[in-house]
Amino acid sequence: AQRVTQPEKLLSVFKGAPVELKCNYSYSGSPELFWYVQYSRQRLQLLLRHISRESIKGFTADLNKGETSFHLKKPFAQEEDSAMYYCALTTGANNLFFGTGTRLTVIP
């Protein structure tokens, strides 16, 4: 069965410090992975997807199949990065399997 694990419910970092939000998954096939973000009083929205290997708002995430991880990283955190972050996996059957989320707080 598919499973997405985000081990940290809460994460606080100082502005300018590096940030890493952890995501591990279990799936026997080839996963397609995403990071979704929910800013305060806004709706859930896509941040980035592993297939595009892009950097969005300074965030990157690399799929590590050996470690079954898809950690989200940013070298210098900004206050506007404070939000709830969800890692999600799809098997292609129109279902997104979400982790429980990590609330990131960037301290000024």
Partner 1 sequence: NAGVTQTPKFQVLKTGQSMTLQCAQDMNHEYMSWYRQDPGMGLRLIHYSVGAGITDQGEVPNGYNVSRSTTEDFPLRLLSAAPSQTSVYFCASSYGRVASNTEAFFGQGTRLTVV
Positions that interact with partner 1 (CB under 8 A):
4, 32, 43-46, 49-52, 86, 88, 90, 92-101
Q: How far is the CB of 43 from partner 1 (least distance, A)?
A: 5
**28/43 with CB nearer partner 1:** 43
**Which of 86, 97, 68 lies closest to 9, judged by CA?**
86
Q: How far is the CB of 104 from partner 1 (least distance, A)?
A: 16
Q: How far is the CB of 23 from partner 1 (least distance, A)?
A: 11
What are the DSSP E strand ranges found in the chain?
3-5, 10-14, 19-21, 24-26, 32-38, 45-49, 60-61, 72-74, 83-90, 96-98, 102-107
